[in-house]
């Protein structure tokens, strides 16, 4: 059963790629399309981050991951280097879990 899902998903991805390549260039050059294409990765990454931070099984949870995200947000506002943002957020979340807060 799992191989059917893998093959069906692979076929779907391939067909989607073919459809994308067959769209005429004049449609893709429209300013509105260029704007939407520019923000889609941002929206997808934001949604993935929200699901990974606040998702817990079938529900929502606020735990140490949320504190790590808050640290990353503040560090980005202060224009900290990317390494500081990532390592700092991980350290905040790990530190809170180590002391038993939001485990």
CA dist 49 and 96 (Å) reads 19
Which has more confidence, 48 or 28?
48
- pLDDT band of residue 42 (cuts 50, 70, 90) is very high
Cα dihedral sign, 43-49-52-54: negative
**Is the entire prediction scored with pTM above 0.75?**
no
Angstrom CA distances, 89 to 4, 25, 49, 51, 56, stand at 39, 42, 13, 17, 19
């Amino acid at each position: 059963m799992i191989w059917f899902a893998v093959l069906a998903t692979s076929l779907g991805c391939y067909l989607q790629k073919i459809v994308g390549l067959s769209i005429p260039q004049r449609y893709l050059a429209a300013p509105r399309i260029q704007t939407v294409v520019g923000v889609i990765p941002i929206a997808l990454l934001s949604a993935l981050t929200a699901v990974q931070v606040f998702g817990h099984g079938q529900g929502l949870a606020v735990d140490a991951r949320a504190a790590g995200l808050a640290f990353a947000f503040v560090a980005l506002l202060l224009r900290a280097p990317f390494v500081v943002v990532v390592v700092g957020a991980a350290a905040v979340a790990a530190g809170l879990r180590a002391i038993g807060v939001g485990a």
